[in-house]
Chain A
Amino acid sequence: MATKFININLKVWRQKDAKAKGQMETYKLDKVSTDSSFLEMLDQLNEQLINERKEPIAFDHDCREGICGACSLYINGRAHGPDRFITTCQLHMRSFKDGETIFIEPWRSKAFPVIKDLVVDRSSFDRIQQAGGFVSVNTSGNTIDANATPINKADADRSFEAAACIGCGACVASCKNGSAMLFVGAKVSQYALLPQGKIEAHDRVLNMVRQMDEEGFGNCTNTGACEIECPKGISLENIARMNREYLTASMS
């Protein structure tokens, strides 16, 4: 497809700091290459704002190749914008029409407070992870090679699929209840499926769910929005597995 240039209108959430009220601002951006990524388009807008001596828009980004989970953005009413299995850095301007108005908002969740403009604080995910998303390994000279433990191929694959979660928070952002269960389900499943994770399995699921509740995430009502918006295609099966794990753990 040949490179095209489009002119777009942007409605972007601007918020000075965590305490400020914030509002939607409208910008016009001309000559946007359809080959540029969504973040490159925002870079272009920021250059324009800097040239106009205005405050550039703050937004999260890091690797720009879809693996770090830093970029967020609720674009035109969907996490990471239209198209499936992509992060915002993998979204390209060819997905938009000339003259289109694009809405850009931060993730909305009590547990993800806005720090500035489109940047939110996702450290609640870190605290959930710290509550149990790990395996204890003996490092006092007795470390066992991970490959020495035989693991069923199907389990290894499903564990790997769960581990593909990059913790971007799209599941929370797109859930009508602001629930983090796809994230926690993936983190629980990733270890629950492996022999190395079995030892701490019960404490892990109880502690991670408790931390999730304390952070103020909502409750899952199985609408399935998270699975569709997840850039890594994490399956709802992981939530079911967490539900099973939690049920057995809380009864024993």
Chain B
Amino acid sequence: MANSAILKSSLAKKYWMALTGLFLCLFLIGHLIGNLQLLSTEKYEAAMRFNQYALFMTSNPAVKALSYVTYLSILFHAIDGIWLTVQNRKARPIGYVKNNRSANTTWASRNMALLGSLVLIFIVSHMATFWGRMHYDANMPLYKVELSAMGQKQSFYRTTTQQFIPVDQVAPSLEEAHKTGKGKYIKNRTELYDANAQIKIAELYKDLYKITVDFFKQPTYGLLYVILYVISMAVLAFHLSHGFASSFQSMGWSHPKYSPFIDKFGLVFSIVTCLLFAIIPVYVYFVL
């Protein structure tokens, strides 16, 4: 960095804003592909695929590394955005009495800080509801399937190696297993152990599917959560409708031949991505 500070100059702040923003767009695509598994209509298929996705997202080392980049990007994008907004306010201490902003700018482009703040509030509450429970909730339910065997319904744990373990053969802890004489027990929340040999025999899925479906199907607040989710996605769509193409301009990736395409693609990307996200809770609440 010859004469410039990597963080301090006005342009450097724009580069960071653009790069973190574009990375978060990539993250959105990955997240969306996972969420779309919830739309599978075959019995057990949606739950199975969604829980597999949840396990993959929390255990794969490459994904883990990427997830830290994502957390940092969100933090940096938010802090940098607030910093830029404060500086920009200071650049005009006295405002205009009459200002016709709609004559030369879109509403979204003028309100990126507001839209971004709303998205941040959504992210925090969204992570508290799903991410937080997936990672830290000791009472996170494990994935079970109800199967009918010889006219009788029975619950099974489905292991990551696609074995079916009857729930009534599994104790919640080693002591319980000894007390009740059950052959298997659960350790470290998801590991299935053999009670006699005390060795790990299988890995179980956390049931993020159940958490998700139950959350949106709550009798009192379910509909409210669906509505808030859909509104948040609309906010995100507006944020991206300006942000996507804007990040290319900030990085200097502008060309008379390609920029019109990037502008259109950004618009389509923001609408399609957010629409697909928004459809899922609506489907869960009204169809499932």
- Residue numbers of A with Cβ under 8 A of B are 11, 13, 24, 74, 76-78, 82, 103, 105, 108-111, 174, 176-179, 181, 202-203, 206-207, 209-210, 212-213, 216-225, 228-229, 236-237, 239-247, 249-252
Given the known inter-chain contacts A176-B105, A224-B104, please indicate yes or no for A244 contacting B252, CB distance below 8 A.
yes
B46-54, B163-171, B222-230, B243-251: which lies at the interface: B243-251
**Is residue B65 within 8 Å, beta carbon to beta carbon, of the partner chain?**
no
Taking the closest CB of chain A, its distance from the CB of B187, in whole angstroms, is 51
Task: Looking at the assembled complex, report how far the CB atom of A75 sits from the nearest CB atom of chain B, in whole angstroms.
Answer: 9
B91 proximal to A (CB < 8 A): yes
Pick the residue among A103, A174, A178, A225 that contacts B98 (CB under 8 A): A103
Q: List 10 A-B contacts (CB under 8 A).
A: A110-B90, A111-B91, A174-B104, A177-B92, A202-B2, A223-B105, A237-B256, A244-B251, A247-B251, A251-B1
* Cβ contact within 8 Å between A240 and B87: no
Given A76-B100, A77-B99, A221-B84 in contact, is the A176-B2 Cβ separation under 8 Å?
no
Main secondary structure of the interface of B (DSSP, over half): loop
**CB atoms of B252 and A105 under 8 A apart:** no
User: Which residues of B line the A interface, CB within 8 A?
Assistant: 1-4, 6, 9-15, 84, 87-88, 90-101, 103-106, 109-110, 112, 242, 245-246, 249-254, 256
Partner of A250, one of B4, B101, B105, B254: B4
Q: Are A247 and B15 in contact (CB under 8 A)?
A: yes
Given A77-B96, A109-B92, also A222-B252 (CB < 8 A): no
Q: Given B2, B6, B96, which contacts A74 in the complex, CB threshold below 8 Å?
A: B96
Is the beta-carbon distance between B2 and A206 smaller than 8 angstroms?
Answer: yes
Chain A contacts of B105 at CB under 8 A? 176, 223-225, 228
Given A223-B109, A228-B104, is A213 in contact with B252 using a C-beta cutoff of 8 Å? no
Name the B residues within 8 Å of A229 (CB-CB): 104
Which residues from A are CB-within-8-Å of B246?
221-222
CB distance from B260 to the nearest CB of A (A): 12
Partner of B252, one of A74, A212, A240, A251: A240
- Whether B100 and A77, one on each chain, are in contact in the complex, defined by CB atoms closer than 8 angstroms, is yes
Inter-subunit contact A177/B91 (CB<8 Å): yes
Which residues of A are found within 8 Å of B12, using beta-carbon distances? 250
**Contact check: which of B84, B92, B98, B104 meets A76 at CB < 8 Å?**
B98
How far is it, in angstroms, between the C-alpha of A205 and the C-alpha of B112 when the chains are bound? Answer: 27
Cα(A213)–Cα(B106), bound, Å:
26
The 9 closest A-B pairs by CB, nearest first: A77-B100, A244-B252, A218-B91, A240-B254, A178-B91, A243-B252, A177-B88, A103-B98, A228-B104
What A residues does B106 contact at CB under 8 A?
A: 223
Q: Are A103 and B97 in contact (CB under 8 A)?
A: yes
Nearest-neighbour CB distance to chain B for A81, whole angstroms, equals: 10
Closest Cβ of chain B to A134, distance in Å, is: 17
Across-interface contacts of A179 in B (CB, < 8 A): 10, 88, 91
> Are A209 and B88 interface neighbours, CB within 8 A?
no
CB distance from A237 to the nearest CB of B (A): 5
A247 and B101 CA atoms in complex are apart in Å by 31
- Complex Cα gap A241–B109 (Å): 21
Complex Cα distance, B101 from A228, in Å, reads 11
Which residues of chain A are within 8 angstroms of B11 by Cβ–Cβ distance? 209, 242-243, 246-247
A111 to B251, CA, bound (A): 25
Given A103-B98, A105-B97, decide whether A222 and B249 contact each other with a Cβ distance below 8 A: yes
Complex interface: chain A residues within 8 A of B1 (CB): 250-251
A226 (CB) vs chain B CBs: closest residue:
B104
Q: How far apart are A60's CB and chain B's nearest CB, in angstroms?
A: 17
A123 to chain B, nearest CB (A): 17
* A207, B12: Cα distance in complex, Å: 14
- Pick from B13, B84, B249: contact of A240, CB below 8 A: B249
Most buried by B among A209, A221, A223, A249: A221
Do the beta carbons of B2 and A77 come within 8 Å of each other?
Answer: no
Report how far A225 CA is from B1 CA in the complex, Å: 31
Most chain A CB within 10 A, of B91, B95, B103, B242, is at: B91
- Cα separation A103 to B97 with both chains bound (whole Å): 8
Distance, CA A72 to CA B44, complexed state (A) = 68
Q: Which residues of B contact A237 (CB under 8 A)?
A: 254, 256
